[in-house]
Amino acid sequence: MKNVSKQVLLALVAGAVLPAAHAADIKLGVAEALSGGAAQYGISIRNGFQLAADEINAAGGINGNKLALVIEDEQGKKEEAINVFKKLIFQDRVLMVFGPTLSNSAQAADPIAQAAKIVAFGTSNTADGITSIGNYVFRNSVTEADVLPATLTMVKNKVGLKNVAVLYGNDDVFTKSGYDNFKKALEDLKIPVTTTETFAKGDVDFKAQLTKIKGTNPDAIVLSALLAEGGPIMVQARQLGLNVPVIGGNGMNSVKIFDLAPGTASNDLWIGSPWSIENKTPENTKFIDAYKAKYNVAPDQFSAQAYDAMYIVAQALKKTPLKGDLAADRAALRDALPAVEWTGATGGFKFRQAKDRAGKPAGYDAEQAPIISKTENGKYVIQK
């Protein structure tokens, strides 16, 4: 009996130490707008992250360790983004933070990550100046400054623009930055502007602005808007007989536009983005099929960018031995990220370093070529 008891005791002791040999979780924070007006982006983004994390874990994780997502709803509000960043960084003690969804929120929350020396990785922030916050701020969302000139050039070559009218949201960092970049691109391309009209986030009636625009007889409307306002703008423009091309920023690059502007109302929308649902590369086809199988809905640019971002971070983590010292591990991940090059759903990707306002090296932007697409009968058609 004594021998049996001893064997049992040894087995119990062995069992007690086994968990220490198990793979540890690598906690990654996800701060996205899962409710409110920006949820149409944030939910897609969360889905892209989750799909990629599940795939990575199923393939063995990161050097045997599993990715664990700590997901919080920042509601598309600056104040909530700040609160969520603080919770993830200081309470949940995550290795890094993805998000937030909107550029407005990133301008408010990313300085917290920079001060705490933890990576903030944006997948949907395209406004100017975000990566100038500091060297812990990364994004794989191509800036409006890179995309909009290419989009305008394509439309000019295809349609022969003589002039355009401009309509933009003047109370949002993203839409205001889009307007600034459209304005510069139009000046560089020497395309005259017939009129410039504005709206505010939450507006639902745009007929006054669109009537003024119609009166100037433009060849196209340049629109810097998020989907919540952009969809109704397209519907009301068509109702007023404004059947000209609409040239949008990446806030309009979503299959949800076909729900918000049904039928022919969504036709002739031109956008530029590294990602298109019609791009038939093996990596993108794999992503689209996996996303549809998991969520029973088509992905969009925002889910694709989140999906690729998770894989980009995974590549850096595979080259970053984690030591259990959170401050050191956060810094090591930051140091590993800039060298990552990846080919995923959005195509070939690498980082380029941005500069702060003083001209000194700061955070990291995406280096990718945009694809220009045009909507035709419920589909985005790639233009060449």
**Could you report the per-residue pLDDT of 332-352, keeping only the tens digit for each?**
999 999 999 999 999 999 999
Question: Hey, what CATH topology would domain 26-142+279-368 get?
Answer: Rossmann fold (3.40.50)
**CATH 3.40.50.2300 domain range(s) in the chain:** 26-142+279-368, 145-273
Give rounded-to-5 percent helix, strand, coil for the chain: 45, 20, 30
Q: Tokens for 304, please give them.
A: 């694709």
pLDDT exceeds cutoff 90 at 18 = no
Q: Do 122 and 58 form a contact (C-beta atoms < 8 A)?
A: no
> Model's pTM, two decimal places?
0.87
Cβ count near 146 (within 10 Å): 18
**Could you report the per-residue pLDDT of 155-208, keeping only the tens digit for each?**
999 999 999 999 999 998 889 999 999 999 999 999 999 999 999 999 999 999
Q: Is 328 exposed, middle or buried (0-12, 13-18, 19+ CB in 10 A)?
A: exposed
Homologous superfamily (CATH) for 145-273? Response regulator (3.40.50.2300)
C-alpha dihedral (128, 131, 137, 140), degrees to nearest 10: 60
